[in-house]
Chains A and B, each alone.
Chain A
């Protein structure tokens, strides 16, 4: 019996090994919070006391620190602090970064840029026109050949003429309204760092070092865990207010929130009214919201075999009750504004006065019967990795059901969604789906970046010839007033076509720890356009 007891004791000791670990671990943590335990922690506490640190909860790590390494917001947010754009145009103003002077001729064909002469790369070299030219060369001749947006208009070359190190003249072969807006967002690559060689940009060591021109420079990169940026003290627009910016990688959304509540991260994006109410009631936090400059829209596949007539599209659009969508999915207009037109209110030429499609269930039922929609089951595809998209789909499905239209939902992750939704880019459009929701982003400034591509392609939208002519005329119209007129008319025309139903213009709503400021000073699609404005108490 004694032996047995001793055995049990040994076993219990072994078993409690882990538990002891937990126990002492916990005391460690609690005291560390008080700020007075082991030397290590004390040192850390004191050193971070006089240092202002902002911790951003990032979705994923990046694989390199090149400015165009990825298109998605969760990637772009990682390199943004390192690289400044040339300038940013939105509906209200033009904000200058690397370029401090922008002149556009009256006919819109000549653009003069002057680079800020104080702008320097993180290694001390000045930012010059050569870097811009190198970047364009990289886009057209580099290993990936990413884009010709900046170098060709309607198949003809855009000419970049270097005047001196800081001045460049750009001549367009024909007028394109979006060009100036798009050019401004460009983040350029340092030519000297890559030794002028465009073919090895991605594979060079420099791709990992992130030598940029922004307010922060790379201090430390713990792959998969965090990227630590420190303030660039030699920054041409004046030093940032915070000393260190940490991108902490937390893929899971509830883990992000836990980290936020325990003070491990400085801000958190929230996406429901319930959370908004919870945090705004708590005085330990502050709330900021900025427009995301995105229009989420609903569309019918023009090549669908089931939706063949305009009546069918009208039936669907009249069955949609936007108020209910906004109530259920977003809950309040702090989370998102309801969609009005195919543009959002951050765009140039946004038609403020326009109203969205009305909700008319009876008419929808009638039209559905007439067009035979009540006999078929429509397939609705959506991107389940986008905030709000699954919820919108669920609500629309129920609403269409009320109008006698059966819908079957198909959730897809980003890559498969885009490959099906945009199958027309690599051949014929997919006929496998009937309804879909997607979003247009980067809708600051001139909105035509994406709209033209969609509106003018009969495989993508059901626009009438009149609508197509109007948008083509609008983007080629150098006269500001006439252009605005045409864009406004276009918004009305495309609404009459019943091809795109604008659902929502969501906001970025941020909760921050008390004392964090500056999140609302700029409207920006990718958080945040200007990191220098952000401060912590």
Chain B
């Protein structure tokens, strides 16, 4: 077990370092001269030179990478080019809103998908199963931004039930208000997960129902409900945990499109504007952060899996969590 953990730690670190190369390299390889975006026509030669020096563009790529990476290790992602404030500080500001949105959408998808998946598995190949299956298919096939647009029209404009954007009504500071603002973005974001989770649970339920222990329990006269909740559901949770591990990154980094459409004041909106204004330190931090969390999520999922299921020790772990 220890060996397995250690192996995964080493792997994760290597992947992280490579991600840092990637985050840094993408920007460096971009066509066009970075400095030209910060030099205005009215500047004198000296001012131009000073700007280039300040951006560190007079030094080699290697030097800049080392310096950047040192900072990253200490949690210092540099200073945003467009507003000169520390990147980490700006991320910290937006993090709570994104975490709130993402965890609610994750919870929502679990709450909906567990019963759906159980029912589908239990009633496999019936009309109910088919309907649930179709819903799941639609869930993975629908463009989420389109769904968001449609929802805004229906719920905000036509029915006037829900606010179209933001997180609070100005001047109102109640939980209800926030919940109302949360419903549409959280639902839009949960659709994809919902579909995946439902199918996962369904197939697991089918698998579990055919396991010997279930048959034994059945023959002993244990009620079907008990079997479902005690055994089947318990065994389904494990893969779900893995899935959640993989979704951790999206949980923190957010979804730019959905956040922007709903004007949610989170990391997604921040990232989108960073990309549009070519705020390189910000973009680098953004890719680095999401990569780190993704790796961390996978790592945790693997470890959890290995703990829960002792059959997976060496090597086998690879089959999971990806």
Contact = CB atoms under 8 A, between A and B. Distances in A.
Q: Do any beta carbons of A and B sit within 8 angstroms of each other in the complex?
A: yes
Nearest to A6: B225
Contacts of B160: 29-30, 33, 262
B270 to A, nearest CB: 7
A251 B264 CA distance: 9
Given A40-B172, A63-B85, A425-B41, A255 B94 contact: no
Nearest to B278: A415
Contact of B260 (A21, A148, A251): A251
Given A69-B83, A224-B265, A14 B90 contact: no
A255 B111 contact: no
B214 to A, nearest CB: 15
A48 B276 contact: no
A258 B167 CA distance: 15
Interface in A29-61: 29-30, 33, 38, 40-41, 44, 48, 55, 60-61
B86 to A, nearest CB: 9
A92 to B, nearest CB: 28
Contact of A25 (B90, B165, B180): B180
B225 A7 contact: yes
Contacts of B80: 63
B63 interface: no
B60 interface: no
Contacts of B48: 426
Contacts of A105: none
Interface string B74-102: 00000010111100001001100100000
Interface in B135-167: 149, 152-153, 156-157, 159-167
Interface string A1-41: 00110111011101101100110011011100100001011
Interface string B217-247: 0000001110010000000000000000000
Interface stretch (B65-73, B112-120, B293-301, B308-316): B112-120
A252 B42 contact: no
B168 interface: yes
B231 to A, nearest CB: 14
B158 to A, nearest CB: 10
A149 to B, nearest CB: 6
A159 B263 CA distance: 47
Interface string B2-42: 00000000000000000000000000000011011101111
A249 interface: yes
Contact of A251 (B157, B228, B269, B278): B269
Contact of B115 (A14, A250, A258): A14
For B50, B93, B266, B276, the residue with the greatest tally of chain A CB atoms inside 10 Å of its CB is B276
A145 B50 contact: yes
Given A7-B228, A69-B83, A419 B156 contact: no
Interface in A210-263: 222-226, 228, 246, 248-252, 254-255, 258-259, 261-262
A17 B111 contact: yes
Contacts of A419: 32-33, 36-37
Contacts of B93: 223-224
A115 to B, nearest CB: 26
For B84, B85, B183, the residue with the greatest tally of chain A CB atoms inside 10 Å of its CB is B84
A534 to B, nearest CB: 18
Contacts of A288: none
Given A11-B118, A15-B116, A63-B80, A222 B168 contact: yes
B165 A250 contact: yes
B200 interface: no
A489 interface: no
Given A44-B171, A148-B42, A249-B263, A26 B47 contact: no
A15 B263 contact: no
Contacts, number: 191
A69 B82 CA distance: 9
Given A3-B223, A8-B119, A143-B84, A255 B47 contact: no
Interface residues of B, number: 75
A183 to B, nearest CB: 15
A426 B44 contact: no
A415 B119 contact: no
B108 interface: yes
A251 B32 contact: no
Given A21-B179, A25-B180, A63-B82, A55 B170 contact: yes
Contacts of B44: 148
B4 to A, nearest CB: 36
Contact of B114 (A14, A55, A224, A252): A14
Given A252-B261, A425-B40, A4 B224 contact: yes
B172 A41 contact: yes
A144 B269 CA distance: 26
Nearest to B97: A224
Contacts of A414: 276-277
B276 to A, nearest CB: 6
Given A29-B160, A250-B166, A255 B263 contact: yes
Given A3-B224, A416-B278, A258 B41 contact: no
A385 interface: yes
B36 A25 contact: no
Interface string A413-426: 11110111011011
Contacts of B170: 55, 226, 228, 246, 248
A179 B26 CA distance: 43
A16 to B, nearest CB: 9
A419 B38 CA distance: 9
A359 B108 CA distance: 60
A131 B68 CA distance: 38
Contacts of B35: 426
A142 to B, nearest CB: 11
A381 to B, nearest CB: 13
Interface of B: 32-33, 35-37, 39-44, 47-48, 50-51, 80, 82-85, 90, 93-94, 97, 108, 111-112, 114-116, 118-119, 122, 149, 152-153, 156-157, 159-172, 174, 176, 179-180, 183, 187, 223-225, 228, 260-263, 265-266, 269-270, 272-273, 276-278
For the complex of A and B, list the 6 residue pairs with the smallest distance between their C-beta atoms, beginning with the closest: A224-B265, A63-B83, A11-B115, A425-B41, A258-B164, A26-B161
26 contacts: A3-B223, A15-B112, A18-B111, A18-B112, A25-B162, A29-B162, A29-B180, A44-B171, A48-B171, A61-B265, A63-B80, A64-B83, A64-B85, A144-B84, A145-B50, A145-B51, A222-B168, A223-B93, A224-B265, A248-B170, A262-B160, A262-B163, A262-B164, A414-B276, A415-B37, A425-B40
Given A226-B166, A246-B170, A415-B278, 19 more contacts: A3-B223, A4-B122, A7-B228, A29-B180, A40-B174, A63-B82, A144-B84, A203-B84, A222-B168, A224-B97, A250-B165, A252-B263, A255-B263, A259-B164, A416-B32, A418-B37, A423-B33, A425-B36, A426-B33
